[in-house]
Every structure is written in structure tokens, then in C-alpha cells.
Amino acid sequence: MSPPLSPGVRRLGTLLALMLTLSLLAVPPASAASLLSQGKPATAASTESAAAFPASAAVDGNAGTRWSSAFSDPQWIQVDLGATASISQVQLTWEAAYATAFQVQASTDGASWTNLHSTTTGTGGDQTLNVSGSGRYVRVLGTQRATQYGYSLWEFKVYGTGGGTGGERLLSYNKPGVASTSQHDANCWECTPARAFDLDPASRWATSSTTGWVDPGWIYVDLGATAQISKVVLQWDPAHARSYQLQVSGDAASWTTIYSTTSSAGFKQTLNVSGSGRYVRMYGTQRATAYGYSLWEFQVYGTGGNPTDPPAPPKDPANPPALVWSDEFNGASGTKPDAAKWRADPGTGPNNELEYYTNHDNASMDGQGNLVMEARKQATPGSACPTDPLTGSGTCQYTSARMNTGTKFHFTYGRVEARIRVPKGNGFWPAFWMMGADFLTGRPWPYNGEVDIMEVLGKDVKTSYSTVHAPAYNGGGGVGAPYTLPSGADYSDDFHVWAANWDSKGIVYTLDGRTVFTISKDQVEQTRGPWIFDHPFYLILNLAVGGDWPGPPNAATPFPARMLVDYVRVYQ
């Protein structure tokens, strides 16, 4: 046991502890300044090896990586803090190739510089420099080397307050693009470089069909300022690159490769990369097909640059979702569809259908809570349809109903359901489906997107189909599946509830509350092409007669035939 301290010693210890406490309080708290430079875009006058010693290595927080310059004077390295900051300290960790004479400088624009620190007697090693100034850019400018080699920094840390947030973000949205060639013809309208950077998955860039189906082919984006690149996302068209490089540049003339492959399979590729530059290029050296190069999306992520904020993505439905729109069809017998919710869509149908859709003449309430959509054997004078095999006439021999919410109600995401009873008979084609609302402003099918919730063919009422259609997969190539009732029953025997649960991850189809098919956005992008269903859609109900898929009616087809709709509901 140690002997007890005398009162005098105890008083001295107390005094020393008090003095130490006061001295600590006199030091500004370290938390007043934050590390602003880590992970931010860094550039340099030169690099000894862009692959081994890039400028980004000095601001990556890894003490085992470094930037190294060419073996000449002067040389510099600079970091973009993302926004103007108040700079209070700079820490430099030199490699053996250090600067005897150098300045630490700040700038608001990367062009005009102000000295924060200057020395001609640098000794290398670890240097902590307390400075005072402000700027978005901070630079170390070496003017005299201490060795025959260049300048090399393991770490270049800038502390202060302000600056950018530093989080990874999309840098390429709506930025200018340049390409080796581009296509603009009936097969690919306005497939210019800008289409790859517009966040519109239904538009694309493609090399020219007359001069661009050659190797190499390339496209690059101007990010507006130097950036630190951390991720690139490519959504390829079938005309993709087998071999290509991702490259960065500060001047769009001299390029550094940050990713390379000779075995690309196309579709969607998310590539984690590391590099810095104002320009980012996809440089294709071998095509996978006889055609050119084409990208639906070319997205660049990182920090720095001069990004434009993209539109906010739509919100997923609440859990549980709430009813936001419905029609229960409870009108009196003979009442027409609610004009505040539906509009008639008269005229001849697509897909070589044989009916003429009337202006609600074939749609009304039955007084028992149902909408009746009736197909009739009824000619429409002055109309033109494909030749009816029963009569040999080119005049439309049938009438029916088609209506939609196009000018009344659009929505993005939700649970969409309808309780429907379908008719039986050769040639009938009842459907409950959705179209992308941009179809109404002139965007052609399938670029607007189509979501089929229910399709049944009257010649096989034991099978129902749910499908999505997009530019890269449509018609017979749409993504979907057939399904039957568990008991093998007939869909025309009774009402059934078809629903689509649609959100940012995809669509889950259900029949009478039972999941029958799931379409994953991620899987579609990885295997079929871009997902184009993250924007407003409207609802459609129709009963077609004839067409390429169901075939024509025959002598046994019963007319009139009725599609009954108990309700349509949308939850979000």
C-alpha cells in the first residue's frame, strides 16, 4: 500500500489539475472544424501513373494510397469541396518525394487563387497548417521539389466549415452529351446523346444507322465541373457493346480508363468505379450485334460536378393503402357511365379488331350495381374494319364499348382492382388495363407503357393473362404470364377480382386475393430492358370483338354478349 499524501502535496495536485483544466478550455474544440475534403473530386496538373497514383488517392482517407506527379516543376493538386467553405486547417502527409517550396491556395472558381500558406523551407513528413480563408477549391502548388522525383502526397486533408454535403448523387441528369454519331430516322426518332442523360427510360441514344454501325463508337457527358466518380449505371439496348471502357477526362481530349471489359452481356449494368474528371465517356470497341451502340440510360454518380436536381421520384403507396378513386356503378338501369370519371373512346379498334366502339351506346348501368359493356352484331355504315369472315364485308359488322379515365384521372403507383364477369364465345376479348398518360400528349405506343391487368379470350375462358409492354418488350414479347382458376373453373361463370399492386419495385398481380404473378423491376432491367412504369397511367375498360389474338367470331358466337363490371377501385 502506498503511503498517504501529505495535505501540501494534495493541494498541489489539485492546483495542477485546475490549471490543466483551464488550459484545455482555452483550446478551441476540435469539433468546430470538420474534414471537408475526403471523397471529394480531386484533380492534378499531372500524375506519374493515372491508374496507380491518381489525384483522388490523396483525398480518399486511405493512408496507403497516394498521388504522385510528373518529375518537373511546377505541379499542383486541388480538391473541390462542393461549395464555398471557411478553411481553418490543412494537413499534408508527404511521401519521400515532397516539396521544399509550395503554397496552399484557395479559390471560389478554380481559376483565381489566394495564398493561405507559403513556404520555401518545407521538410516533408506530416504537416499541420493552421490557415484562414475561404473557397470552394483548395490547392497545393509545388514550385520546388526536394528530390529528383516529383511531388507525392499520401494524404491531403482540408478542415473547416461549410462546403458541400459530399454524399453520392446523380451528376449526369440533363447534362450535355456528345457522341461519335447518332440516329434520327423512322426506326429511332431523335436518338441523340441527350436522350441517354434525361432519366427517361423510354428514350435512347443510338449510333447512326448509316455511318455509326462501326467500331469504335462512343458517347460522353459533360458534368459541368470536375467530379469524383463513384458509380456508373448503363441500361443497354440490344445493340450493346461486347467490349468497352469507361473513361474520364478533364478536357474531353485526354482520357483515363477507370473500367474495362471484353465480355459485356448488355442490359443493365451498375459499375462501382473510382476516378475524377469533368467528362465521362463510354468508349465501345466491339459491338455485340451487327448494329451499332445504343443506350437507354447512362447515369453517372459521385460528388462534385455541377449537378442538376432531377425530379423527385413518385411516392410508394401507403401501407395499408387508402381508397383514392372508385366507381361502384350503382346508377339506375340505363344510366350512362359517370362523365366526371369516364369518357367514351369511340372508333375502330387496333390489332385488326372487327368492332366499332360507340359513344357509350353500348355501355350503361343495369340497376343492380354493375356496368354493362355489350357487344352486338350491328353494322356501322361508313366505317371500315378488316374483312369479316362471316359476311365478307369491310364495313364494321359489330359494335361494342371502350372507355377510359384519360382526361379525368391519372395516378402513379397503387393497388388497382376491378370485379368483372367476362363473356364466353369465339372472338370476344374483354380487358381491364392501363396506358401511360403521355400517350394522350402524343407519345406513341409502346414508348408510353402499357399495363394489362386482365385479358381473357372468349374462346378460352379458363385462362387469364396479365402483361406489361414497353419499347424493349411488347406485343408477343411482352413480360407476363397466363393463369387459371385453381379448380379449373370458367371465368365467365362468375365475377372475379383482378388486381395489380404497383410500386417502385414492380407489379404483383392477384386474382381473388391470391398472388398469381410478380414482375420485378430489377429483374426486368437485368434481363429484358428498361422499366418504364414509374410515371402516371390511366384506366381502360373495353370489350373487343375479333383481332389478331382472339380471332374472329364464328356462327356459334352468341350476340349480344355482356362484360359486367361490379366496381373499379384505386388505393394509394
Residue 459 CA to residue 423 CA, distance in Å, equals 10
pTM above 0.95, yes or no: no
Residue 419 CA to residue 569 CA, distance in Å, equals 9
Q: Find the Cα–Cα–Cα–Cα dihedral 183, 186, 188, 190, rounded to 10°.
A: 70
Query: Bridge-partner residues for 93, per DSSP?
Result: 126, 155
Helix (H) or strand (E) holding 11, with range, is helix 7-25
Determine the pLDDT at residue 351. 95
Distances in Å between the alpha carbon of 399 and those of 351, 362, 377, 386, 459? 16, 7, 7, 14, 19
Query: Bridge-partner residues for 218, per DSSP?
Result: 283
Determine the pLDDT at residue 32. 55
Beta 355-357 vs 398-400: how paired, if at all?
A: parallel
Residue 226 CA to residue 277 CA, distance in Å, equals 5
Q: What's the half-sphere exposure (Cβ side, CA atoms, 13 Å) at 29? A: 2
Residue 29 CA to residue 332 CA, distance in Å, equals 77
- Active-site pick, 48, 355, 450, 525: 450
Distances in Å between the alpha carbon of 119 and those of 33, 101, 289, 513? 24, 5, 59, 76
Residue 450 is a catalytic residue: yes
Contact 173, 51 (CB under 8 A): no
Concatenated DSSP letters for 15-35?
A: HHHHHHHHHHHTSPPGGGSEE
Question: What is the number of other CB atoms lying within 10 angstroms of the CB of residue 418?
Answer: 23
Residue 104 CA to residue 37 CA, distance in Å, equals 14
Determine the pLDDT at residue 507. 98
Query: Bridge-partner residues for 483, per DSSP?
Result: 464
The amino acid sitting at 306 is: N
Concatenated DSSP letters for 409-439?
A: --BSSEEEEEEEE---STTEEEEEEEEEGGG
| Mean pLDDT of each 10-residue bin along the chain, 572 residues long | 36 36 35 78 90 88 91 95 92 97 94 96 96 95 96 96 77 98 94 98 97 98 92 97 97 96 97 93 98 98 90 93 98 98 97 97 98 98 96 97 97 98 98 98 96 98 97 96 88 97 97 96 97 98 97 97 98 98
Helix (H) or strand (E) holding 248, with range, is strand 241-249
Residue 276 CA to residue 330 CA, distance in Å, equals 63
What is the phi-psi region of residue 508: left when phi exceeds 0, alpha when psi lies from -120 to 50, beta otherwise? beta
What is the 8-class DSSP label of residue 571? E
Buried b (16+ CB within 10 A) or exposed e, 255-283: bbebbeeeebebbbbeeebbbbbbbbbbb
- Look-up: residue for cell 373453373? 489
Residue 453 CA to residue 521 CA, distance in Å, equals 16
End-to-end CA distance of the chain: 75
Query: Bridge-partner residues for 510, per DSSP?
Result: 499, 515
Burial class (CB in 10 A: 0-12, 13-18, 19+), 91: middle
Query: Bridge-partner residues for 160, per DSSP?
Result: 34, 87
Residue 353 is a catalytic residue: no
- % of the chain exceeding 90 in pLDDT: 85
Determine the pLDDT at residue 17. 38
Question: What is the number of other CB atoms lying within 10 angstroms of the CB of residue 540?
Answer: 21
Determine the pLDDT at residue 490. 92
Cα 461–Cα 386–Cα 359 angle in degrees, nearest 5 = 75
Contact 246, 232 (CB under 8 A): yes
Q: Strand order in 402-404's β-sheet?
A: 343-344, 402-404, 537-545, 428-436, 450-457, 460-469, 479-484
Determine the pLDDT at residue 7. 35
- Active-site pick, 48, 95, 417, 455: 455
Determine the pLDDT at residue 303. 87
Contact 402, 433 (CB under 8 A): no
C-alpha grid cell, residue 524: 426486368
Three-state SS string over 346-395 comes to: CEECCCCECEEECCCCCEEECCCCCEEEEEEECCCCCCCCCCCCCCCCCC
Query: Bridge-partner residues for 188, per DSSP?
Result: 185
Phi, psi of 411, deg, nearest 5: -160, 160
Determine the pLDDT at residue 9. 34
At 314-361, the pLDDT tens digits run: 999 999 999 999 999 999 999 999 999 999 999 999 999 999 999 999
